Amino acid sequence: MEELKETEISCPYCGEFISVLVDPGEVGQQYIEDCQVCCKPIVFVISEDAMGRLLVSVQSEDDA
Ligand SMILES: [Zn+2]
């Protein structure tokens, strides 16, 4: 079982920093989770860089 990785993102709506847990098995996927501050749906896109490190980018639902 792969370990969840804690990462910090900035909400595309309100700009607040939020800690989220990302499953390394979700690389290449995207999912929606509501912002803990403004409750708007944030689109998380999970990817990996050339070094195999987990990258998380976020978008507003309108951009997705
Ligand atoms: Zn927010």
CA of 41 to the centre of ligand 1 (A): 8
pLDDT in tens, 7-32: 999 999 999 999 999 998 999 999 99
CA of 1 to the centre of ligand 1 (A): 31
Task: Indicate the burial class of 58 (C-beta count within 10 angstroms; 0-12, 13-18, 19 or more).
Answer: buried
- Report pLDDT for 1: 64
Bridge partners (DSSP) of residue 60 are 42
Instruction: Please report where in the chains the tokens 């990302």 appear, as a residue.
Output: 22
CA of 4 to the centre of ligand 1 (A): 22
Beta strands in 1-64 (DSSP E): 5-10, 17-22, 30-34, 41-48, 54-60
Whether the predicted pLDDT of 59 surpasses 80: yes
User: CB–CB of 60/47 below 8 Å?
Assistant: no
Q: Whole-prediction pTM value?
A: 0.83
Q: Which of 30, 38, 29, 31 is nearest to 10 (CA)?
A: 38
CA of 36 to the centre of ligand 1 (A): 7
